[in-house]
Amino acid sequence: MYSYLVRITSKGQITIPQQVRRELGLEAGDEVNVVVQDGVARIVPAGEPRTRGQRVVEALLGKGDVELTTDEIMAMTRGD
């Protein structure tokens, strides 16, 4: 177990230290839950942790605007 001293901004924000984000697999845009119990607050990842690949796929979903079929695309990549 370890702890970090962080400062709360005037807007009520804190920065989660890099080592904590790395250990929890958190990246910009991820959501966390703040769980308060018996006067203690815990920050935990919301839902299942996502892999880097899952985050890339989520970022790319809906980005394609090519009106080709899969067969047409495969033909282009093969040089047919």
How do residues 35-80 score in pLDDT, each as one tens digit?
A: 999 999 998 888 776 777 877 888 888 777 778 888 998 998 997 6
One-letter-per-residue 3-state SS of the chain = CCCCCCCCCCCCCCCCCHHHHHHHCCCCCCCEEEEEECCEEEEEECCCCCCHHHHHHHHHCCCCCCCCCHHHHHHHHHCC
Domains of the chain: 18-78 (2.10.260)
Mean pLDDT within 7-17: 95
Task: Please report the pLDDT score of residue 15 as a whole number.
Answer: 94
**CB contact set of 76 (below 8 Å; sequence gap of 6+):** 68
Query: pTM surpassing 0.75?
Result: no
Mean pLDDT of 23-45: 89
Distance CA 43, CA 34 (A): 5
pLDDT at position 6: 94
